[in-house]
Amino acid sequence: MKKCIKRCLRKCAKKKRKIIKKKLYGKTYFFYAVSDGEKNVYTEQDKTPGYGIQRIPSPKSVSYAQVFVNGVLQPKSLYRIRDGSIRFTSDDVPEKGVPIIVQSIRICR
């Protein structure tokens, strides 16, 4: 009985070592825009120039996405992201001149 338990523990330890050896890496995408105070849909064409490559990837291709309006993290219920666009679902639109930031993170092996 003790031999069986020791063998099981050795197998579990080997599996843990294999899992730990696998490395993960991530890729982060950013989109920066400034609100015009009127619309609730922003596309990649509305990006703020001067911040390098910006895009809004499809939610299916990223692990996590978060949206900031005027530096405040927005709850998921207030926006919908699609490939290349973000739509604010609330009745209010962001005030004119307020920054909008979409950060998307993709974690891969």
Tens digit of pLDDT for each residue in 38-79? 999 999 999 999 988 999 999 999 999 999 999 999 999 999
| pTM for the model | 0.76
Residues 102, 31: contact at Cβ < 8 Å? yes
**What is the DSSP track for 3-42?**
HHHHHHHHHHHHHHHHHHHS--EEEEEEEEEE--SS-SEE
Confidence check: pLDDT of 18 > 90: no
pLDDT exceeds cutoff 90 at 101: yes
Residue 10 is predicted with a pLDDT of: 61
